[in-house]
Every structure is written in C-alpha cells, then in structure tokens.
Structure 1
Amino acid sequence: MRDATSLGATLYLPTTRRDLGPIVSGTRYPELRSAVLCLEDSVRPDDLPAAMANLAALLPTIDPSGHGPRLFVRPRDPAMLARILQMPGIERIEGFVVPKATADSFPAYLHLLANHTHMLMPTLETREMFDLDQVRRLRDQLVGVQGRILAVRIGGNDLLQQIGARRSLERTLYEGPLAATIGALVAAFAPFGFALSAPVLEHFACHDLLRREVARDVEHGLLTKTAIHPDQVAIIHDGYRVEPSELAEARAMLAADSPAVFALSGSMCEPATHRRWAQSILRRAECFGIRHDPLAAVI
C-alpha cells in the first residue's frame, strides 16, 4: 500500500521491548496503523545484541495476511541493515526507515536494497537539513527513486539537538526554533510529490498541546506523524478527521462539471489551484472519517 496518509500515527517501538508480538499482530493496539521497529537511538549500544535477537525472533511470526499495523524497521547504519536483510521473514515488513539521511549517506542504504522491494522512509534529522543546498542534493537524489519513497520523515528532536534545544511543554513545534526549518523542508520536498511526516511530540502527557500541533501539521500538509506513546495515536487520528464543510468543498471542486471559480460557504473555490488539497481531503475522510458536530444530533 504505497500511501503515506494511511500511516496515520506511526508508533516507534524499541526492539528491546518484550511485548512486540501483541503489538505487531494488532491485538494490543488495534487502532494502530503503522509502527517502526527501531534499532537506532532508542536502543543503547550495549543492548544491540539483544535487540537484534529480538527482531530476528519476531520477523517469522509476523502475519503476512495484512492484519496488524504496517511495519517498518529502522536500522542503525548500513552494516546493520545488511545483517537484517539476511534474517528470515524480512520480506514480511513493508520497508525501512533510513536514519540521518543525507545525500552522502543515503546511497549506501539504497545499494543494499537494490534487489529488494521494500519501501523507504528517509529521515531528515542532521545538521545538513539547515543547509538548503544539502537539502536539495538529497531531494534530487530521492527524485531518482521516488517510486520507493513512501514518505520523508522529519526528525524534530534530532534537529533540535543540533542547535542545543528541546521542545517546549507549552508551545507547538511551529512556535519554536524549527518553524522556519519545517517550512523550508516542506517547500523543498512537497512540490516534488513527496509526502512528509510530522515530528514527534515527546511530551506525551500534553494532550492539548498535541491536538494543537496536529492542527498545525495538517496546515503544513503533514498528514502522518511520529508517535512515541500509544496514548498519542487516537489524538493524532482524530486530528486528521475532516470537517463536513471541507468535504463539501473538496467534492465540489473535484466534480466533473465544476466551474473554474465558484463560491461556497463564504470562500472562493478554484479547482485549478485547490485540486491537490481537495484530493487530500477526500483521502483523509476515507482513512479517518468525518468530524460530526455533537450538537447536530440534538438539533
């Protein structure tokens, strides 16, 4: 399923966890749509042997019929990826998250995966992402293999680490030092047809802050988001639900007999400029449903 929107909230899971089986089977968190089995920063170096053994034991047990969340593995480096590709059952995952992707590091991963069909999600999280020339170098490289790039993931915490900062408990990412950087990354990749995922909010108990941030994610066209706690999943998915007015506008714009310009609910609708937005609205409604006014049932 080569569709980033349906990823929804992507839960990152250190492969040191002992409860991976119920999670990847879909029984622990049935609302979870995608997950990353992580062997990178979430695993201590001295725990790597156990984490790799845990992954090797898990892969053959994954149900290939499609039950449970879409699964990806995040290796630590190309050498680890080479080892993982030899594990029985590796064909049961959908793809790999490439950590700290740059124009210099990404080719090594791509070379190892040349004879595989796995999808890729490069993560933008190094100091090169503050250099637009380096961003363009990576972007142009990805254009050449765009059919294999499911989404480009923005690693907010690693980017903040590059400047010695941390997320606020009170403000969204768009009100902090990464606001311009996220905008620049969206501008560099989205016009070329790449889907981008929104960074994680590590303050997982701040539910109201997460709701506000998801709303800003959507405004930026970021329609999938990293999660690090299961409580975040439902909040993120709820934020992707579509307002009835948005759905009405999208359907009107995509109608075969739609005028070139028309008014609806006090807004100008112009299919030539709003078509891509309208298509994303319909896809969100299909994946996450429509937001209903609780008062409508009373009136």
Structure 2
Amino acid sequence: MTVSAIELGATLYMPCTRGDLAAALARAAASGLRSAVLCVEDSVHARDVPAALDNLAAVLPVLGAIPLAVFVRPRSAGMLEHILHLDGIGHAAGFVIPKAHADSLPAYLALPLHEGHRLMPTLETREVCDGHEMRRLRDQLLGQQERILALRIGGNDLLQILGARRSATRTVYDGPLGPLIGTLVATFAPWGFELTAPVMENFANPALLAAEVERDLDHGLCAKTAIHPSQVPVIHAALAVPMAQLAEAQAILGEDSPAVFNSAGVMCEPATHARWARRVMARAEAFGTTGAELKIA
C-alpha cells in the first residue's frame, strides 16, 4: 500500500519483539490506522534483536493482505541490507532511516532498494542542532528526493541529546524543541520536503495531544508519530479540516479568484496562500472536515 506524506496521518510504531505483529496490524488497520512502523531499533533491546528479526521475517509475507502502509525501521544500514533479502520485503512501503545525518545516510542510499520503497529519514542526532550539518543532509536528499516520502522529527532522541524530557502537561512547542522544529521546517520545507511531528509520550491526555497536533499543523508538519493505539483517532480527528478553512482554501484555488480578497476579516492572497490551500485540500480529502461552512465575502 502506498500513501502520500499527508495521508500518513498517525504513524503507529510497533516493536518487532511482538509475536502478534500480523494480528496487531490487521486490527489497527480495521480501526482506521493508515501507516505503521515495525521497529527493530531503539524499542528493541540488543539481546532481543534476533527474535525481533524472526518476527519481522514472519510478518512480511502477509503484509500485502493488510490495507496499511507499513515501514520497517532497522538499526543500521547493515541490518537493512539483510532485511532487503527477506521474503515478502516487497510488501513493505519503505523504511525509516534512524539517526540520519550527512555522514550516515550514504550507506543507506547505496543499498539495492526496491523500486517502490520510500524512505523516511529520522532527524534525531546532535547534527540536527547544527545548521551546516542539516544543509549538508538536505543537499544529499535533494539527489534522492523522489524516494524521500517525509523527514521524521525524533523528539525523544533530541531531548535526550539536550539532557531534557518534555513536560507531561504542555505541548512540545512549549519546551526546547519548539524553536528547533521551526528551524527544521525552514531548512527543509522550502525545498519540497515534508516533515512529520514527534510523538507525545503522554498517551493519557487526549486534549493535550489534540492541541499539539494543531500546533504541528501551524508549523507546516504533515503527520505525527504515535506510540499507543488510543492516540490514532485523536490525531486523525485533529487533522480533519474545519469547513471554514476548507472554504478559504477552495476560494484561494478557484480559477476566478481575485488577486486579494476578504474572508471573515482575514486577507486571502492566492499568490502567497496557494501552497497552504493545496495542503488543506489534501488533508480534507484524507481526514474529512469539521464544523460549519463559511461564506467567503
């Protein structure tokens, strides 16, 4: 199954130490999940790697029967090379590259990936804090842009580097990662890359999660990592587009739209708002709408 970056929605991470991966993926897909990551990296203890790889090998052949975009997260380029030879790997949508930076990425890009495999490099190392290093990475990715589905922001790893942990009562934007996320968007989005938002490890506060997704969208992020199934419907509901916003997007993209017009006291200008409007339209198609319609003046 293939999806666009915006259609990823809540991407649920599952450690490959689970022995019921196929059943868990089927249940999640039936409940509305669109994308998942089978992880053999940080969520798997080193001693459990052989068993995790066995579980992964067992589930790959049946992925084609599950309506879900499933990605695999290896520990290293060497492990990915091994995984690429497993039976059924063609059913995987692609791979999440852990701890991606300009010096680690070439080893992954040199591997014999299948034609349909898409990559999602994860930005989660200290190089993320160095603008020069992120520009080096961007230049490498530009040469492979058709294969890059999105860049994932690894919030917990970045906080570990900073010696911090996010608050259980505030959004990620109210801590040290807020400015860093904005910088990453400014570094990659103007060059056509999509970025996804980091996980909220507190899965007992759906209201806070919904508020954080709203701020993810304000920052131009397109999807969000989830670590618990209960987070998936909350994220998808928060990704739904308010009807008023959809009406603005439709008016901005209209063939007969004026160069500048008023929408409930807010200026709309197709020359500067068209990219935003197209993203809103894509979100509405993927996750639906909420609220009442707005009449554009």
Same fold (TM over 0.5): yes
Q: Is the 8 A contact 1:211 1:236 kept in 2?
A: yes
Alignment partners' CA distance in 1, 2:28 and 2:70: 14
Deviation at 1:2, TM superposition (A): 5.1
Q: Which residue of structure 1 lines up, in the alignment, with residue 295 of structure 2? A: none
Aligned-pair RMSD on alpha carbons? 1.3
Q: Which residue of structure 2 lines up, in the alignment, with residue 297 of structure 1? A: none
Q: Which residue of structure 2 lines up, in the alignment, with residue 296 of structure 1? A: none
Q: Is the 8 A contact 2:29 2:68 kept in 1?
A: no
Deviation at 1:117, TM superposition (A): 3.4
Q: Deviations over 1:213-242 (max 9, x none)?
A: 111001011120000000000000011111
Alignment partners' CA distance in 2, 1:29 and 1:13: 16
Relative to structure 1, the CA distance from residue 276 to residue 41 in structure 2 (aligned partners, 3 Å threshold; closer, same or farther) is same
Q: Which residue of structure 2 lines up, in the alignment, with residue 40 of structure 1? A: 41
Q: Is the 8 A contact 2:244 2:291 kept in 1?
A: no
Query: Aligned residues, how many?
Result: 291
Q: Which residue of structure 1 lines up, in the alignment, with residue 258 of structure 2? A: 259
Q: Is the 8 A contact 2:122 2:153 kept in 1?
A: yes
Alignment partners' CA distance in 2, 1:27 and 1:273: 39
Alignment of 1:5-16 (within 5 A): 5-16=6-17
Q: Which residue of structure 1 lines up, in the alignment, with residue 286 of structure 2? A: 287
Alignment partners' CA distance in 1, 2:45 and 2:215: 33
Q: Which residue of structure 1 lines up, in the alignment, with residue 75 of structure 2? A: 76
SS at structure 2 position matched to 1:141? helix
Relative to structure 1, the CA distance from residue 101 to residue 92 in structure 2 (aligned partners, 3 Å threshold; closer, same or farther) is same
Q: Is the 8 A contact 1:23 1:29 kept in 2?
A: no
The residue type paired with residue 8 of structure 1 is: G
The residue type paired with residue 9 of structure 1 is: A
Q: Is the 8 A contact 1:214 1:236 kept in 2?
A: yes
Q: Deviations over 1:255-287 (max 9, x none)?
A: 111111111211111000000010011111100
Alignment partners' CA distance in 2, 1:253 and 1:260: 9
Q: Does 1:178 align with 2:187?
A: no
Q: Is the 8 A contact 1:250 1:278 kept in 2?
A: yes
- Structure 1 runs not aligned, ≥5 long: 294-299
Alignment partners' CA distance in 2, 1:115 and 1:57: 19
Deviation at 1:3, TM superposition (A): 1.0
The residue type paired with residue 12 of structure 2 is: L
Q: Which residue of structure 2 lines up, in the alignment, with residue 59 of structure 1? A: 60
Q: Does 1:159 align with 2:158?
A: yes
- Structure 2 runs not aligned, ≥5 long: 293-297
Relative to structure 1, the CA distance from residue 30 to residue 115 in structure 2 (aligned partners, 3 Å threshold; closer, same or farther) is closer
SS at structure 2 position matched to 1:63? helix
Alignment partners' CA distance in 2, 1:110 and 1:28: 30
Q: Which residue of structure 2 lines up, in the alignment, with residue 168 of structure 1? A: 167
SS at structure 2 position matched to 1:236? helix
Q: Is the 8 A contact 1:124 1:152 kept in 2?
A: yes
Runs of 4+ off more than 2 Å: 23-30, 113-117
Alignment partners' CA distance in 2, 1:225 and 1:153: 9
Q: Which residue of structure 1 lines up, in the alignment, with residue 205 of structure 2? A: 206
Alignment of 1:243-254 (within 5 A): 243-254=242-253
Relative to structure 1, the CA distance from residue 27 to residue 145 in structure 2 (aligned partners, 3 Å threshold; closer, same or farther) is closer
Bigger shift: residues 35-44 or 13-22: 13-22
Q: Is the 8 A contact 1:26 1:69 kept in 2?
A: no
